[in-house]
């Protein structure tokens, strides 16, 4: 497994708190960020070597200037197994899994994972091909949330939805042209929420596996919502519906 760099305060902090193998912490020599002390304390607790670098060196290492003065060399992201994800939530009366059908932008992927973690989802499922995986940019955009929620990669999203339905999940797909509003639905039990790609939306074979296709009503402005914004709205509406007592 290849090592990778995660960068930014939240991703570095969560990686140091998590279970992933960590190797080396790089910090900006001239940093005055008050959060650095806590990061250094976490590194000391885990026995991680600390190296000082100039800001320009960190920018070159990370391929981005948005590193906030720190980067952490870690083992490659450990994807979860779908079977373990389903089994872990199997004993609960309600459960939410976020299924992403071809998200291409790592910023959108990271934002969706962050929303899923904040909404109390039990896991995120992404395809192995023709989609963005967990990259350092996605980790930065998730603000470290990738360290707090399982993410599984699957070969076939449509077949994965079949598996989830057999395990008792009700599958909801989000599409802008759907006539049924997310706000008019009652959510209960185990829910798999499907979000399509930024340009194409949910693919036809995946859409056929959805029990319900729903939309988010819009009241003006541009023609459609950003995928991560739409996904966040839907996630919290599902979470509210599952937790709201009649």
Note whether 145 and 195 are same-domain residues. yes
The model's pLDDT over 82-98, given as tens digits with 9 standing for 90+, comes to 999 888 876 565 689 99
Q: How many Å apart are CA 221 and CA 224, to the nearest integer?
A: 8
3-state secondary structure of 145: helix
Residue 127 sits in the same domain as residue 191:
yes
Q: How confident is the model at residue 59 (pLDDT cuts 50, 70, 90)?
A: very high
Please state the rounded mean pLDDT for residues 139-166.
Answer: 93
Single out the residue in 48, 75, 102 at which a domain terminates: 75
Least confident of 17-31, 48-62, 79-93, 175-189: 79-93
Same domain, 41 and 97: no
- pLDDT confidence of residue 1: 53
| CA 122 and chain centroid, separation | 11
Please report where in the chains the tokens 């000082």 appear, as a residue.
52
What CA–CA distance (Å, rounded) separates 244 from 246?
6
CA gap 217, 183 in Å, rounded: 9
DSSP character string of 207-219: HHT-SEEEB----
Please tell me whether residues 8 and 71 are part of one structural domain. Answer: yes
Of 41, 75, 109, which one is at a domain's C-terminal end? 75
184 and 62 fall within a common domain: no
Tokens of residue 192, six digits: 């798999």
pLDDT of 104 strictly over 80: yes
Domain harbouring 35, CATH code:
3.30.1330.30
pTM of the shown model: 0.87
Percent of the chain with pLDDT over 90: 59
From 17, 42, 75, the end of a domain falls on 75
Q: Which domain holds residue 165?
A: 82-243
Domain match, 215 and 176 both: yes
Are 9 and 70 in contact by the 8 Å Cβ rule? The answer is yes
User: What is the 8-class DSSP label of residue 147?
Assistant: G
Q: Greater confidence, 29 or 113?
A: 113
Averaged over 59-76, what is the pLDDT?
Answer: 90
CATH of the domain at 112: 3.40.1280.10
Is the predicted pLDDT of residue 122 greater than 80, yes or no? Answer: yes
Confidence of residue 36 (pLDDT cuts 50, 70, 90): confident
Confidence (pLDDT) at 90: 62
What mean pLDDT comes out for the span 172-195? 92
Domain count along the chain: 2
The Cα 117–Cα 132 span in angstroms is 18
Residues 87 and 165 in one domain: yes
pLDDT at 205: 96
Q: Which two tokens stand for residue 186?
A: 């009652």
Q: Identify any residues that bridge with 3 across adjacent strands, giving them in sequence order.
A: 75
- pLDDT recorded at residue 98: 97
Rounded CA-CA distance 208/136 in Å is 33
Residues 40 and 140 in one domain: no
């Amino acid at each position: 497994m290849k090592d990778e760099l995660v960068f930014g305060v939240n991703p570095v902090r969560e990686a140091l708190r998590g279970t992933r193998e960590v190797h080396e912490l790089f910090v900006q020599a001239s940093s005055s960020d008050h959060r650095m002390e806590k990061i250094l304390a976490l590194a000391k607790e885990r026995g991680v070597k600390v190296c000082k670098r100039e800001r320009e060196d960190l920018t070159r290492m990370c391929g981005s200037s948005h590193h906030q003065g720190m980067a952490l060399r870690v083992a490659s992201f450990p994807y979860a197994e779908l079977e373990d994800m389903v089994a872990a939530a199997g004993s609960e009366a309600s459960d939410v899994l976020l299924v992403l059908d071809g998200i291409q932008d790592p910023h959108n992927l990271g934002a969706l994972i962050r929303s899923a973690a904040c909404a109390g989802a039990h896991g995120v499922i992404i395809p192995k091909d023709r989609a963005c995986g967990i990259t350092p940019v996605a980790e930065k955009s998730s603000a470290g949330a990738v360290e707090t929620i399982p993410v599984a990669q699957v070969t076939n999203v449509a077949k994965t939805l079949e598996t989830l339905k057999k395990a008792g999940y009700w599958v909801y797909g989000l599409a802008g042209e759907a006539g049924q509003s997310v706000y008019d639905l009652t959510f209960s039990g185990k829910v798999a929420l499907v979000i399509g790609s930024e340009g194409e939306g949910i693919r036809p074979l995946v859409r056929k596996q959805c029990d319900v296709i729903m939309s988010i009503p819009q009241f003006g402005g541009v023609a459609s919502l950003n995928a991560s914004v739409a996904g966040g709205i839907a996630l919290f509406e599902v979470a509210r519906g599952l937790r709201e007592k009649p």
